[in-house]
Amino acid sequence: MKSTFYKAIIVSSLITFSFQAIAQLDITPEDKQKFVQTHQKATKKDAQAQYQLAQMYFSGLGVLQNLNSARLWANEAAKNGNGDGYALLADINLLSDSYFSQELIDARKYATKAVEMGSTRGKISLAESLINPIAGKTDYQQSIELLNEVNALNNPDYFIAPILLGVIYLDGKGVAKDEKQAQQWFDKANEMTYPGYAEWMAAFKFSEDNTGTVTIDQVKAKKLREIACEKGKSAGNEMFCFSE
């Protein structure tokens, strides 16, 4: 989990999980070179390269983060048949404030298209949109089913799936509240990333979300941040203790 690739995935999740937070990775010469090479392929209508380029703009890998550029290249990838391109379009739209309801509605459409095209990332995007009441009618059962399908892969690239499941069970909206099961999912996500990371991410959701996806609960968010800090310290770092 120490590679630049995983750092990019983790940083991008600050955006992907609708937390309205953006952190810029350090741009190394190696990452810059990869960006240039990917850009060259993308301009030649390579759909996979177009998606990768969009992800680079989205996460700030090899280039300054730019959601407009990420949207542009994700759209190009989608038009050229890349399902993950649709998933990234959905993720970008899921960043929207509740005021921009049409973008949240479109996010579900993009995510649905991504899943139809076989995108695993799209399953996570659709699962999140299905618990967002602004995006349309909620369906917690389908959301959980999609996330369980992703979790069954045990692929650390999709660590956001267990975090989202943990949030759903901890919130108890649309499903019976189950703190024990929520913690089990957070633990799974921490194994894929860093100790305390899942709780830290979940805290943002409970403190910052304004779309009705979860019930805002500052007490719950504070407790999650405390847990994240404790777990981080136990692993020899204090990266999640900035608010303590």
Highest mean pLDDT among 18-22, 61-65, 125-129: 125-129
pLDDT tens digits for 27-41?
889 999 999 999 999
42 CA to centre of own chain: 23
Cα 136 to Cα 12: distance, rounded to the nearest angstrom: 25
Cβ neighbours of residue 107 closer than 8 Å, sequence gap 6 or more: 89, 90, 91, 93, 94, 96, 125, 129, 132, 135
* DSSP letter, residue 19: -
pLDDT(215) > 70: yes
Give the burial class of 39: count Cβ atoms within 10 A of its Cβ; 0-12 exposed, 13-18 middle, 19 or more buried.
middle
- Is 175 within 8 Å of 169 (Cβ atoms)? yes
**What are the structural domains of the chain?**
4-232 (1.25.40.10)
pLDDT grade for 230, boundaries at 50, 70 and 90: very high
Q: What is the pTM of this model?
A: 0.89
Cβ neighbours of residue 191 closer than 8 Å, sequence gap 6 or more: none
Q: What is the pLDDT of residue 25?
A: 59
Of all residues in the chain, the percent with pLDDT exceeding 70 is: 89
Helices (H), the chain: 4-16, 29-42, 47-59, 67-79, 83-93, 101-116, 120-129, 140-151, 160-171, 179-192, 197-208, 218-234
pLDDT tens digits for 136-168?
999 999 999 999 999 999 999 999 999 999 999
pLDDT tens digits for 53-68?
999 999 898 999 999 9
Cβ neighbours of residue 138 closer than 8 Å, sequence gap 6 or more: 130, 131, 132, 174
Helices (H), 25-119: 29-42, 47-59, 67-79, 83-93, 101-116
Of all residues in the chain, the percent with pLDDT exceeding 90 is: 79
Map tokens 């959601």 to a residue: 67
Tell me the mean pLDDT in the region 108-127. 98
Cβ neighbours of residue 4 closer than 8 Å, sequence gap 6 or more: 25, 28, 30, 31, 61
